[in-house]
A and B are shown apart, each in its own frame.
Chain A
Amino acid sequence: MAHHDNGKAYWRANLKLGAVLLSIWFIVSFGFGILLVEPLNRIQFFGFKLGFWWAQQGSIYVFIVLIFVYVAAMRRLDRKYDVHEDED
C-alpha cells in the first residue's frame, strides 16, 4: 500500500533528522560545556575561556538554532510526503 510506505518513509526521515539535531544538542552542551570544558578552557574566545563560554552562552544560542532548523526541515518533510496541514 503506497500511502503506508509513504508514512513509514516520513517517519524514518523524521527520526534521522531528530538524531542528527540531538547529537549536536549533546555535543555543544554535554560535550563542549561539560566533558571537554578543561581542554577548551585553554583557548581564549573574545575574552572568554572557550569551554566556559559554551557552558554559559554558546550552548543556549545553538539550542535556539537547532529548534528553528528543525522547524524548517520538518516543514519541507511535511510537504515532501504530503502530510502537511492546510494553511489557513
Chain B
Amino acid sequence: MDVQTLTYLFVGGSFALYIGIAIWSRAASTRDFYVAGAHVHPVANGMATAADWMSAASFISMAGIIAFLGYDGSVYLMGWTGGYVLLALLLAPYLRKFGEYTVPDFIGRRYYSHTARVVAVISLVVVSFTYVAGQMRGVGIVFSQFLGVEITWGVVIGMGVVFMYAVLGGMKGITYTQVAQYCVLIFAYLVPAIFISLMITGIPVPQIGLGAEVADGSGLSVLEKLDRTLVELGFAPYTEGSKATIDVFAITLALMVGTAGLPHVIVRFFTVPNVADARKSAGYALIFIALLYTTAPAVGAFARLNFIDTVHDEAYGEVAPWFKSWENVGLIGWLDKNEDGVIQYAPGAPFEGLPRFEAERGPLGERQVANPPTDGANEVYVDRDIMVLANPEIANLPGWVVALVAAGGVAAALSTAAGLLLVISASVSHDLIKNTFARNLTDRQELRYARIAAALAIGVAGYLGINPPGFVAEVVAFAFGLAAASLFPAIVLGIFSLRMNMQGAVAGMLAGLGFTFGYIVFFKFVAPELNNAEHWWLGISPEGIGAVGAAVNFAVAALVCRFTPAVPDEVAELVEGIRVPRASSGPGKPRA
C-alpha cells in the first residue's frame, strides 16, 4: 500500500475510534458535560490532561524550534513542564475541593461579585480563542501536507469530528477521546524518535542518545559534534544561548505561570473524584507530558545534526530524496547563489521572505526561487516544522510510520482544540447565561445551552482556522502571558490569602491584563520596528512580559486590598473550607 492510502487508513481509523468513544460516553447532565461527572480515574485524567495540553505546536513545531534555537529552546521545555508543579501545589487540590465547574465560577464566588466573574470570563475567552484558532489551523496543515486535501476542507473535517464528541459528550466525551488521542500521539512521536536515536548513536533511548557518542567513529558526543559543526559554519554553539539571561528567565517564568493559569488545563482537575486524586493526577499528567518533552530536545539535536550532514556541501544532484520531496511541498527552498550546483548552508536567511517559486524548474531539476537573494553565504531556506514531519523519511522508516505521524499530529491538534472549546462553552452557558442572566434555568435547559455554545464556539474556531487573521501565529504564544497576568494571581490569592477582597482582585486582574496586553500590542503592532532588546523594558521581550504582568497583578491587588472593605465572613469560611480536603472531625463535629 502506498503512503497516501496508509495515511487515510490511519487518520480515518483514529477518527472512527474518537466518534465511537463519543457515542459511548454521551453526557446526560450538566455535571457530565462540565466535569465528566467527576468520576475520572487520576491516571486517565493525567493522560487526558497531557493530550489537552500538548497541542499541534508541541507535537509538530517544538523539536524544530529547539533544533534551531539550541539552548535558548530550553525556555519552552522548562516553561511548559514547570507550570505543573505550580498547578499541583498551588491550584489543583483546592479548586477540586471547591468543587464547582469553571474557573470564573471560582473567581465569582470567592470574590462575591459578578464583575469579577465577568472579568474572568473575558480573560478566559480571549486566552482560549487565540489558542484554539492555531489548533484548527494545525489540523488543516496536517491534512493538506499528508492527505493532499485543501486546508479549508481539512479544517471542516476537523470541526466535524470535534463537533461529534464535544457537543454530544461534553467533558465526558472529550476526556475519553483525549485518553485515546494521547496514546496515538505519544506512540507517533516516540517511534521515529527511537529510530533516529538508533541511527545516529546506536542507543534506542533518545534521552540518553542525546548525550551519547555519535556512531560515526569520530569519538565526539552528539552535542560536541553539533557545537563544533555549527561553529565551523559560523553559527553560535548549540549548547550556548544567545538570548539575554534576564529574558530567558522572564520567558520561562511567564510560560510556567501561564500554564498554571490556562483554564482548559485547570478544568481537567475538576473531573477527578477527590482532592487526593487531583494532586496525584497532576503528577501523572507531568509524567505523560515529560515523555514527549524530554524526547523533543533529542529529536531537535539529532535532526539538526542530520540536516547539516545531509545538506551542507552536497551536490544538489546527489542530495537525499527527502530534501527534494519537502522542496516539492515548498517547505525547503534552495537558491544556488554561487552557481556551483552544490548546496551551502550557513547562518542568516538565504533570501528575503518566504520562498516564492517559479513555474519552471532550474537546470538541475531544483525549484527556482524568485525571491531577491541576501548577501549571506546561506543558500537554504528550511521551515522548522519539517524537523519532526520529515523524521520518518530521514530515518528511512516504512510508510506506516509516516501515516502514524500524520494521525499523531491530528490527534494533538484535535485534543487541544476540543478542551479549549469546552471551557469556552462552559463559561458561556454556566457563568454568563446561568449565573449572570437567567438564574432559574433547569439542568436540562442549561445542558442545551452548553451544547449550543459548544457548537457556536466550534463554528467561530473553524472560521478563524480557515481565515486566520494575520496576527494569530504571533498571538498564540502570548495567550500564556495573558493567562499568567490575569487568572493565575487571582486564583492563588483567592486560596492563599484570607483577606484578599473583590476590589483588590478585580483591580489586580485588570492591571495585569492591561499592562501585558499593552506591552505586547505596542511592540507587535504599534511599533514593531522597536521590537528588539535595546528598546524592551529591562531587556524583557513581549514573550516574557507576562511574568512582569503577574507581578503587577499581585502588587496592585495587595495595594488596593489594603484600602478597601474586608471580605465578608462567609467568604472567609469558603476559603477555610477549600484549604482542607475534609472538615476536621474535631470536638462536637462527629465524622459524617
Residues of chain A whose beta carbon lies under 8 Å from any beta carbon of chain B: 1-4, 6-7, 10-11, 14, 18, 21-22, 25, 29-30, 33-35, 37, 41, 45-49, 52-53, 55-57, 59-61, 63-64, 66-68, 70-71, 74-75, 78, 81-86
CB-contact partner of A56 in B74, B208, B245, under 8 A: B74
Q: B71's closest neighbor in chain A, by CB?
A: A52
7 tightest CB-CB pairs across the interface, nearest first? A3-B586, A47-B211, A55-B74, A67-B283, A47-B221, A56-B297, A83-B580
B442 within 8 A of A: no
Could you say which residues of chain B place their CB within 8 Å of the CB of A74?
Answer: 93, 276, 279
Could you say which residues of chain A place their CB within 8 Å of the CB of B81?
Answer: 59-60, 63
A18 contacts B211, C-beta separation under 8 Å: no
Q: A86's closest neighbor in chain B, by CB?
A: B582
Main secondary structure, interface of B, reads: helix
B85 contacts A49, C-beta separation under 8 Å: no
CB-contact partner of B297 in A57, A67, A71, under 8 A: A57
- Segment among B3-11, B287-295, B330-338 that sits at the interface with chain A: B287-295
- Segment among B246-254, B410-418, B422-430 that sits at the interface with chain A: B246-254
Could you say which residues of chain B place their CB within 8 Å of the CB of A68?
Answer: 283
B77 within 8 A of A: yes
B579 within 8 A of A: yes
Could you say which residues of chain B place their CB within 8 Å of the CB of A29?
Answer: 78, 82, 252, 256
Q: List 16 A-B residue pairs with CB atoms under 8 Å apart, sorted by A's residue number.
A: A2-B586, A11-B579, A11-B580, A33-B78, A34-B245, A34-B248, A48-B221, A52-B223, A53-B211, A59-B78, A60-B77, A60-B78, A63-B81, A68-B283, A70-B279, A71-B88
B218 within 8 A of A: no
> Roughly how many angstroms separate A35 CA and B293 CA in the complex, as a whole number?
22
Could you say which residues of chain A place their CB within 8 Å of the CB of B239?
Answer: 41, 49, 52
Within the complex, the shortest CB–CB distance from B38 to chain A, in Å, comes to 13
Q: How many A-B residue pairs have CB under 8 A?
A: 152
Within the complex, the shortest CB–CB distance from A72 to chain B, in Å, comes to 10
B249 contacts A49, C-beta separation under 8 Å: no
Could you say which residues of chain B place their CB within 8 Å of the CB of A57?
Answer: 207, 210, 294, 297
Could you say which residues of chain B place their CB within 8 Å of the CB of A14?
Answer: 579
> Roughly how many angstroms separate A62 CA and B256 CA in the complex, as a whole number?
15
> Roughly how many angstroms separate A18 CA and B133 CA in the complex, as a whole number?
36
Within the complex, the shortest CB–CB distance from B385 to chain A, in Å, comes to 20
B448 within 8 A of A: no
B90 within 8 A of A: yes
> Roughly how many angstroms separate A14 CA and B589 CA in the complex, as a whole number?
23
Could you say which residues of chain A place their CB within 8 Å of the CB of B240?
Answer: 41
B401 within 8 A of A: no
A25 contacts B85, C-beta separation under 8 Å: yes
B440 within 8 A of A: no
> Roughly how many angstroms separate A53 CA and B222 CA in the complex, as a whole number?
13
Within the complex, the shortest CB–CB distance from B302 to chain A, in Å, comes to 13
B576 within 8 A of A: yes
> With A30-B253, A60-B294, A75-B276 given, is the CB distance from A49 to B223 under 8 Å?
yes
Could you say which residues of chain A place their CB within 8 Å of the CB of B248?
Answer: 34
> Roughly how many angstroms separate A33 CA and B71 CA in the complex, as a whole number?
10
Contacts A60-B81, A63-B290 supplied; 4 other A-B pairs, CB < 8 Å? A3-B589, A14-B579, A37-B71, A75-B276
Digitize B218-259: 1 where CB-to-A-CB distance is under 8 Å, 0 elsewhere.
000111100000000000000111000100110011001000
Digitize B183-204: 1 where CB-to-A-CB distance is under 8 Å, 0 elsewhere.
0000000000000000000000
A83 contacts B279, C-beta separation under 8 Å: no
CB-contact partner of A47 in B77, B223, B297, B576, under 8 A: B223
A3 contacts B587, C-beta separation under 8 Å: yes
> With A47-B213, A52-B223, A63-B286 given, is the CB distance from A82 to B78 under 8 Å?
no
> Roughly how many angstroms separate A22 CA and B212 CA in the complex, as a whole number?
32
B587 contacts A83, C-beta separation under 8 Å: no
**Within residues 277 to 323 of chain B, which ones have a CB less than 8 A from any CB in chain A?**
279-280, 282-283, 286-287, 290, 293-294, 297
Within the complex, the shortest CB–CB distance from A9 to chain B, in Å, comes to 10
Could you say which residues of chain B place their CB within 8 Å of the CB of A71?
Answer: 88, 276, 279-280, 283
> With A48-B223, A70-B89 given, is the CB distance from A59 to B82 under 8 Å?
yes
B521 within 8 A of A: no
The interface centre, meaning the residue of A2, A7, A55, A66 with most chain B CB atoms within 10 A of its CB, is A55
> Roughly how many angstroms separate A18 CA and B276 CA in the complex, as a whole number?
16
